């Protein structure tokens, strides 16, 4: 039997972040007898997806992080790796800050190069400025420019580049069957979490600046003051978690906010929620908003979420400049009742079904290999 082609994906880590989860959704569903994924990451840590990747036949390599002062070492490490691994013909880069470095080196070794945009901002401060300068040449370096949304493509590659044939939108598709609303699953998960009789507001995301947990807690505080029967589920982990935990204590919400950490049962947890709250400062797409809609959850999101994520009438966007009261009002409107239904047809017709996306990507890889 002919061996599968191997695609090299470049990521910072292999934890349950947006880009990593998107790649894993593709990896789980692609025909691995034809296409295998391997990974090069910028850490030696054992990450959330390590065991699963190895079980699926993937290989994981590590390379030291780029720190500016180690430019020549970073370039040298990439040259050594690619020289030692001539089996790779396609490199798919998800780390944008150094993509102009490693993709250029990969091109010199004859690889087809893909740069993939998953965001619409580098944040603020000196680090953000440095990243913006480093990533500017990507639009000229990569053979193909992928993005999870048009706005993510324009932000990273520029408007002119998104009009070229080499620019392609690869939707952050999901396995819709996992998220179809099931009343029994909802009851079981709510019983497990001991929140059977509560109005449950939820959020899934890394505790980092873009996710805007600070505003999220302030909104929930207003909601909770008006309806004491509310509970907030926070799924995820990250560097800002201790700060948010302290804020919750200061506001006297410690018994009304559940920090759930990193979870593998996101579809079931979404079933247990009554409303999804997502006030991000910026998102490339916001794949979890797609998942929440697939679970038939009402979604209150910031106007920073790209319009491509608005695929049902369950989602409502508000300006980040709105008052806390203006955020709280539509949330409280759902506190009485909301009829959940099967949203698979709506999600599939919007192009976010994983089978359609995987079929396209598999053909793209096979068509460009070698």
Domain boundaries, the chain: 5-173+353-368, 176-349
* Tens digits of residue pLDDT in 106-139: 999 999 999 999 988 877 777 778 888 888 999 9
Q: So what's the pLDDT on residue 2?
A: 80
Left if phi > 0, otherwise alpha if psi is -120 to 50, otherwise beta: which for 336? Answer: alpha
* Tens digits of residue pLDDT in 16-70: 888 998 999 999 999 999 999 999 999 999 999 999 999 999 999 999 999 989 9
> Band of the pLDDT at 351, cuts 50, 70, 90?
confident
* Tens digits of residue pLDDT in 225-271: 999 999 999 999 999 999 999 999 999 999 999 999 999 899 999 99
Distance CA 292, CA 155 (A): 25
Q: So what's the pLDDT on residue 1?
A: 47
Quote the pTM value: 0.86
Check pLDDT > 90 for residue 168. Answer: yes
Question: 211: number of CA atoms within 13 Å, CB side?
Answer: 23
Write phi, then psi, for 214 (nearest 5 degrees).
-60, -50
- Rounded average pLDDT over 271-281: 97
CA angle at 160 for the pair 155 and 162, rounded to the nearest 5° = 65
* Tens digits of residue pLDDT in 281-297: 999 888 899 999 999 99
Pick the CATH number of 5-173+353-368 from 3.40.920.10, 1.10.8.60, 3.40.50.2000, 3.50.50.60: 3.40.50.2000
Check pLDDT > 80 for residue 11. Answer: yes
- Cα 304 to Cα 168, 195, 241, distances in angstroms: 22, 31, 22
- Rounded average pLDDT over 190-202: 96
Lowest mean pLDDT among 1-5, 197-201, 263-267: 1-5
- Among 275-279, 285-289, 340-344, 355-359, top mean pLDDT goes to 275-279
Please report which residue ranges of 96-169 form alpha helices under DSSP H. Answer: 99-108, 126-135, 138-141, 150-157
Q: So what's the pLDDT on residue 365?
A: 98
* Tens digits of residue pLDDT in 299-340: 999 999 989 899 999 999 999 999 999 999 999 999 877 788
For the CA atoms of the chain, what is the radius of gyration? 21
Q: Which residue has the higher pLDDT, 127 or 343?
A: 343
CA angle at 209 for the pair 206 and 213, rounded to the nearest 5° = 70
Strand order in the sheet with 112-117: 60-62, 35-41, 5-11, 90-93, 112-117, 144-147, 167-169
- Rounded average pLDDT over 210-229: 97
Q: Are the C-beta atoms of 11 and 57 separated by less than 8 Å?
A: no
With a CB cutoff of 8 Å and minimum separation 6, the contacts of 137 are: 100
Please determine whether the domains at 5-173+353-368 and 176-349 fall in the same fold group of CATH: yes
176-349: CATH architecture: 3-Layer(aba) Sandwich (3.40)
Distance CA 346, CA 292 (A): 13
Check pLDDT > 90 for residue 275. Answer: yes
Q: So what's the pLDDT on residue 13?
A: 94
Closest CA to 302 of 185, 210, 193: 210
């Amino acid at each position: 039997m002919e061996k599968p082609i191997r695609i090299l994906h470049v990521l910072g880590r292999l934890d349950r972040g947006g880009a990593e989860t998107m790649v894993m959704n593709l990896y789980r569903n692609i025909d691995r007898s034809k296409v295998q994924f391997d990974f090069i990451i910028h850490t030696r840590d054992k990450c959330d997806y390590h065991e699963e990747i190895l079980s699926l036949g993937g290989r994981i390599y590590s390379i030291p992080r780029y720190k500016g002062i180690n430019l020549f070492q970073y370039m040298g490490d990439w040259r050594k790796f690619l020289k030692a691994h001539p089996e790779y013909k396609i490199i798919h880069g998800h780390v944008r800050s150094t993509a102009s470095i490693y993709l250029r080196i990969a091109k010199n070794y004859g690889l087809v190069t893909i740069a993939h945009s998953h965001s619409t901002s580098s944040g603020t401060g000196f680090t953000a400025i440095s990243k913006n300068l480093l990533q500017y040449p990507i639009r000229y370096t990569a053979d193909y420019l992928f993005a999870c949304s048009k706005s993510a493509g324009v932000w990273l590659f520029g408007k002119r580049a998104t009009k070229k044939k080499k620019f392609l939108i690869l939707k952050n598709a999901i396995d819709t069957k996992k998220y179809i609303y099931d009343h029994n699953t909802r009851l079981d998960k709510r019983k497990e979490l001991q929140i059977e009789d509560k109005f449950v507001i939820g959020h899934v995301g890394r505790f980092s600046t873009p996710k805007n947990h600070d505003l999220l807690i302030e909104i929930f505080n207003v909601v909770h003051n008006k309806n004491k029967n509310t509970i907030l589920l926070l799924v995820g982990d990250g560097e800002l978690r201790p700060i948010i935990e302290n804020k919750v204590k200061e506001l006297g919400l410690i018994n009304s906010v559940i920090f759930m950490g990193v979870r593998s049962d996101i579809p079931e947890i979404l079933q247990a929620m009554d409303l999804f709250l997502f006030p991000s400062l910026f998102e490339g797409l916001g794949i979890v908003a797609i998942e929440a809609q697939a679970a038939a959850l009402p979604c209150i999101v910031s106007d920073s979420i790209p319009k491509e994520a608005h695929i049902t009438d369950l989602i409502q966007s508000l300006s980040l400049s709105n008052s806390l009261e203006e955020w709280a009002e539509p949330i409280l409107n759902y506190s009485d009742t909301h009829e959940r239904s099967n949203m698979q047809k709506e999600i599939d017709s919007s192009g976010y079904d994983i089978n359609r996306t995987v079929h396209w990507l598999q053909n793209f890889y096979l068509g460009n290999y070698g």
